[in-house]
A and B are shown apart, each in its own frame.
Chain A
Amino acid sequence: MSVDLSQFHQVFFEESYEGLDVMESALLNIDISAIDDETINEIFRAAHSIKGGSGTFGFKEIADFTHVVETLLDLIRSDQFEMKADHVDLFLKSVDCIRTMINQFESGVSCDLEVADELKAAFTVLLDGEGAADGDSNQDGLSSTGEPHDPQSGADGWQIYFKPELDILRTGNDPVRMFRELSELGELSVVAVTDGIPSISDIDPESCYMAWNLTLIGEATEAQIDEVFEWVVDDSELVITPLMPIDGQETNSNEDELTAPTPIEPDEKDEIIDKEVADVKQSETKKLVAKKEVKTESASIRVGTDKIDDLINMVGELVITQSMLEELGKEFTIENLPKLMEGLAQLSMHTRELQENVMRIRMLPISFAFSRFPRLVHDMSKSLNKKVELVLLGEQTELDKTVMERIGDPLVHLVRNSLDHGLELPEQRLAAGKDEMGKITLNAFHQGGNIIIQIIDDGAGLNKERILSKAIENGLVSASDHLSDDQINDLIFLPGFSTAEAVTDISGRGVGMDVVRRNIQELNGSVEVESTEGEGSVFTIRLPLTLAILDGQLISVGEQVYIFPLVSIVESIQTHDQMIHRVSGGCDVLRLRNEYIPIVKLWDVFNIKPKHETVEDGLLVIVEGDNIKIAVLVDDLLGQQQVVIKSIRENYRPVHGVSGATILGNGTVSLILDISGLIKLAGVGRDTYKKINDANDTEAA
């Protein structure tokens, strides 16, 4: 049968990437002065698996390269080679190299061997030095598994004497199987040598006391015969002699003996066979349901079996509740009302649990996103000549896979930023009375329905004067503005802001903090910075656990019900006359605690008929998006609830001001509003916001 190996490639790629990550983090954690056996073993095992897999699945280049890496690791593991700091770097480079090669195979590009060959040469130098002799002897030991005879092929056949060790049966080897295999190579005759069998009282039924004289007539080569005995040759007496054509007589005499009874099997042999048969039967009766392998798709997700088990449990509970309700509904009387209520409560509980469990399937520990940082910090601190300790906290905190994939880049940017701009050089730190080793902490934890990720550094903190002067220079704020510290810090997230005096290789990639904030906002999240000059900064990212469900505030305008993401709502107020100002240009603004907020009339924007057209009669919901606050006029606030987001873009086409839709409890469809889009739609962008606030020369709240 032929098996298409390419179906396993995706799994191989995935596990190899995981293995490389393991290698990388273990390498970064290695304490060169006291190398821990388990760490080396871990690295070795990962390399070993990649080598084995790549060999099996036909990625010869990877197998060849990984082989050298593995060989050196094996020597280190068995204390035949001393690992030094620059070897760690060599291994790290090899990890990168293997990753690149796998990547090339995965994307179908032909493999570029330049780096691999260079590294291989470096390994060869090391291997030829200290431990090479041992490595070679290892290999020799196995390739020459006793070959005392010249390979004879001109012979008519072979005379074989085989006396296995007493314990042969206890290794699962069975002479009968070997004979059967031999018989496939030619005409086989078997004569048992029973001399070794002790008296019945001394027989250990599990030992094999027999020896055999075998004659094999045919064109079998000695190599083929060796192969049959490959697993037992070291522990057995095995003599293989060719039968030459002139030895006709001997052959004959053997053939006479051939008709003699077939080899006597020790009784215990039969017992074993009987037992095996019994075992097989047993296994057939309680045969496991053969799991059909899940076909790997390009986007797959690995789910712990416990999560699946939980789901199955929940579904079971749901089915029970459902049948209970059905039973109840068949002959419902009002006396049963409490029972019905109880059933419905159960149903809602199970539904919620099921929902949570389904969500958990998409959840991965944030360590997947954190894992790249030890390497990144290691490499970066080297090139910046900074000393940095990286602390990862809350790595087991779980996060939706999609969110995880999309938070990676913003996180990298923030960490780079902290390393580059936040942390000082060792001498500056010493001068400031700090430990020369800087510290960057990545911390993740759950808070409510959100995940919070913090990037904390103990560096110099944000330089408020420089930020302010830069912002004034770039026209982002005016010199007359009085801003609070937090507002100044927040300026770094504005488009067109960059304080880096020289564009460095590290963070000056034309991507500013505004992009970071926008990326995070696209995930319905937020990012803020707190900073104390001289003590460091804390960047706090707040993200929803999942993109599929949203905490929403239902509001009504006329007949329509819309939903605001709860995270974007600042507050909701009822207004009175004094708070409303009419600005030239037709836009009403709300004066709230010395801040001027443009008012957006939802009925006007969406062109529908409201209950209340004027601001005074309705309610204002103050929402924030893209750092701009707007006050949205609505008729009424309804409930808050979790809603499942359905994409409008996929099902219809992109609509400005609307991020998706959902189906409400009563079956009607409700649109989920996108605040940034709404701001654009209403034409109250940053300019308007700035203009009205400048015009009123406000004192910031």
Chain B
Amino acid sequence: MATILAVDDSASMRQMVSFTLKGAGYDVIEAEDGQKALDKAKGSAVDLVLTDVNMPVMDGIELVKNLRTLPDYKFTPILMLTTESAGDKKVQGKNAGATGWLVKPFNPEQLLATIKKVMG
């Protein structure tokens, strides 16, 4: 079973994502900001990272940059959850090494479809 690290500072989004993913049979690790996500990523084997962009302490872009410096996360798919109004964030995210993005707002079905795209 694959493990997904879900990062969002909003508890409701985290719960929604986590609930949806668990329902689809994934293991989920939650983190509420980039720094916590990075700490958790170091201690676990994660197959996919889903991260919000705007977060306190460490934002999603920094998280991606930091993850990519870790040998275990060189090739791990990292998806950013971003809003349609944040076009430059997508570019920044890509440059930092993000795999792709999912545009907010999204529903559980869209989330699973996107996950399937990278996890198969």
Closest Cβ–Cβ distance, residue B35 to chain A (whole Å):
15
Contact status B9-A51, CB under 8 Å: no
Alpha-carbon gap, A180 to B119, bound state (A): 11
Of residues B90, B94, B105, which shows the largest number of chain A Cβ atoms within 10 Å of its Cβ?
B105
Cβ–Cβ contact A55 & B3, under 8 A = no
Q: Is the CB of A206 within 8 A of B74?
A: yes
B66-120 residues at the A interface, CB under 8 angstroms:
68, 72, 74-78, 81, 83-85, 87-88, 90-91, 94, 97-101, 104-109, 112, 117-118, 120
Asked whether A34 is an interface residue with its Cβ less than 8 Å from the other chain, the reply is no
Main secondary structure of the interface of B (DSSP, over half): mixed
Q: Does A139 touch B at the CB level, under 8 Å?
A: yes
Proximity string of chain B (37-54) to chain A, C-beta cutoff 8 Å, 1 when within and 0 when not: 000000011110000101
Given contact pairs A142-B84, A272-B75, A287 touches B12 in the complex (Cβ within 8 A): no
Report chain B residues within 8 Å CB of A48: 54, 83
- Bound-state CA distance A181–B114 (Å) is 11
Contact B12 A231 (CB under 8 A): no
Known: A1-B24, A180-B120, A287-B1. A172 touches B78 (CB 8 A): yes
- Give the CA-CA distance A63 to B104 in the complex, in Å: 11
> Is there an interface contact between A138 and B46, defined as CB atoms closer than 8 Å?
no
**Complex Cα gap A239–B47 (Å):** 31
The answer to whether A290 and B22 touch across the interface, beta carbons within 8 angstroms, is yes
User: A1-B112, A206-B74, A230-B100 are contacts. A56–B16 as well, Cβ < 8 Å?
Assistant: yes
Q: What CA separation (Å) do A11 and B44 show in the bound complex?
A: 27
* Of B13, B72, B77, B81, most A-chain CB atoms within 10 Å: B13
Which residues of chain A are near B19, meaning CB under 8 Å?
A: 3, 7-8, 293
Which residue of A15, A74, A234 contacts B85 across the interface (Cβ within 8 Å)? A74
A222 at the interface (CB under 8 A from B): no
Other-chain contact of A11, B15, B24, B85 (Cβ < 8 Å): B15
Which residues of chain B come closer than 8 Å to A231, judged between CB atoms? 94, 99-101
Question: Are B23 and A1 in contact (CB-based, < 8 A)?
Answer: yes
**In this complex, what residue of A is CB-closest to B56?**
A45
With both beta carbons as reference points, the residue of chain A lying nearest to B13 in the complex is identified as A53
Contacts of A181 in B (CB 8 A): 117
Residue of A nearest to B117 (CB): A181
Query: Cβ of A128 < 8 Å from any Cβ of B?
Result: no
Report how far A80 CA is from B37 CA in the complex, Å: 32
Q: How far is the CA of A174 from the CA of B119 in the complex (A)?
A: 10
- Which of under 10, 10 to 19, 20 to 34, or 35 or more describes the interface residues of A? 35 or more
Structural contact, B13 and A172, CB atoms closer than 8 A = no
Contacts of A276 in B (CB 8 A): 47, 75
B60 to chain A, nearest CB (A): 12
Cβ A52 vs Cβ B108 within 8 A: no
**Cβ contact within 8 Å between A49 and B45:** no
A580 to B38, CA, bound (A): 76
> In angstroms, how far is the closest chain A Cβ from the Cβ of B9?
7
Residues of chain A contacted by B101 (CB below 8 angstroms): 231
Q: Mark A45-72, 1 if CB is under 8 A from B, else 0.
A: 1001101110111000001000100110
Q: A11-B15, A45-B54, A170-B68 are in contact. Are A56 and B106 (CB under 8 A)?
A: yes
Q: How far is the CA of A48 from the CA of B108 in the complex (A)?
A: 20
- Checking B72, B74, B108 against A170 with a beta-carbon cut-off of 8 angstroms, the contacting residue is B74
Residue of A1, A55, A290 near B28 (CB, 8 A) is A290
Closest CB in chain B relative to A134 CB, distance in Å: 11
Chain A residue nearest to B67 in the complex (CB): A172
Verify A293–B18 contact, CB threshold 8 A: yes
Q: Given B9, B27, B47, B52, which contacts A288 in the complex, CB threshold below 8 Å?
A: B27
- CB proximity of A59 to chain B, nearest CB, Å: 10
B24: chain A residues within 8 A (beta carbon): 1
CB distance from B98 to the nearest CB of A (A): 7
A3 x B23 contact (CB < 8 A): yes
Q: Contact at B47–A5, with CB atoms within 8 Å? A: no
Give Cα A141–Cα B89 distance, bound, in whole angstroms: 11
Selected contact of A171 from candidates B15, B23, B97, CB within 8 Å? B97
Partner of B83, one of A15, A52, A169: A52
Judged by a CB distance under 8 angstroms, whether A330 is at the interface is no
Is the C-beta of B58 less than 8 angstroms from some C-beta in chain A? no
Binds B, one of A155-163, A278-286, A456-464, A654-662: A278-286
Q: Which residues of chain B are within 8 angstroms of A1 by Cβ–Cβ distance?
A: 20, 23-24, 108, 112
Most buried by B among A52, A230, A284, A293: A52
Say yes or no for A105: interface residue by CB 8 A criterion. Answer: no
Given known A-B contacts A51-B83, A139-B87, A171 and B104 have beta carbons under 8 A apart: no
Question: Could you tell me if B44 and A283 are in contact, using CB atoms closer than 8 angstroms?
Answer: yes
A71 contact set on B, CB distance < 8 A: 85
Return A584 CB to nearest CB of chain B, in Å.
68
| Residue pair A12, B12 in contact (C-beta under 8 Å) | yes
Question: How far, in Å, is B52 (CB) from chain A's closest CB?
Answer: 8
Q: Which of B15, B47, B78, B97 interacts with A293 by CB under 8 Å? A: B15
Give Cα A473 to B10, complex, Å: 58
**Among B12, B88, B94, B105, which residue has its beta carbon within 8 angstroms of that of A8?**
B12
User: Contacts A12-B12, A52-B105, A169-B75 given: A45-B55 contact, CB under 8 Å?
Assistant: yes
- A627 contacts chain B at the CB level, 8 A cutoff: no
Question: Which residues in window 5-24 of A have CB below 8 A to B?
Answer: 5, 7-9, 11-12, 14-15
A15 and B9 CA atoms in complex are apart in Å by 10
- Are B45 and A283 touching (Cβ within 8 A)? yes
A617 interface residue, CB < 8 Å from B?
no
- Residues in chain B near residue A74, CB distance under 8 A: 85
User: Could you say which of A3, A57, A230 contacts B12, with CB atoms under 8 Å apart?
Assistant: A57
Q: Can you name the residue of chain A whose Cβ is closest to the Cβ of B88?
A: A138
Q: Are B72 and A172 interface neighbours, CB within 8 A?
A: no
Are A172 and B99 in contact (CB-based, < 8 A)?
yes
A177 lies within 8 A of chain B by Cβ: yes
Nearest CB on A from B100, distance (A): 3
Whether A15 contacts B104 by the Cβ 8 Å rule is: no
Q: How far is the CA of A91 from the CA of B35 in the complex (A)?
A: 30
- Evaluate whether A55 and B105 lie within 8 angstroms (CB atoms) in the complex, with A3-B23, A279-B72, A280-B47 already known: yes
- Which chain A residues border B56 with CB–CB below 8 Å? 42, 45
Give complex CA distance A14, B61 in Å: 27
When chains A and B are docked, how far (Å) is the Cα of A170 from the Cα of B78? 11
User: A residues within 8 A CB of B1?
Assistant: 280, 283-284, 287
Name which residue of chain B comes closest to A45, CB basis. B54
B98 touches A171 (CB 8 A): yes
Please, which residue of chain B has its CB at the minimum distance from the CB of A67? Answer: B85
**Residues of the A chain whose Cβ atoms lie less than 8 Å from the Cβ of B75:** 169-170, 172, 174, 272, 276
What would 12 A/B residue contacts be, using CB atoms closer than 8 Å?
A: A8-B15, A11-B15, A52-B105, A56-B104, A56-B106, A74-B85, A206-B74, A234-B94, A283-B46, A287-B3, A288-B3, A293-B18
Those 6 A-B pairs whose CB atoms lie nearest each other, nearest first: A55-B105, A231-B100, A142-B87, A172-B99, A12-B12, A283-B45
Which residues of B are interface residues toward A (Cβ below 8 A)? 1-3, 9-13, 15-16, 18-20, 22-24, 27-29, 44-47, 52, 54-56, 68, 72, 74-78, 81, 83-85, 87-88, 90-91, 94, 97-101, 104-109, 112, 117-118, 120
Q: Which residues of A contact B (CB under 8 A)?
A: 1-3, 5, 7-9, 11-12, 14-15, 42, 44-45, 48-49, 51-53, 55-57, 63, 67, 70-71, 74, 138-139, 141-142, 169-174, 177, 180-181, 206, 230-231, 234-235, 272, 276, 279-280, 282-284, 286-288, 290, 293
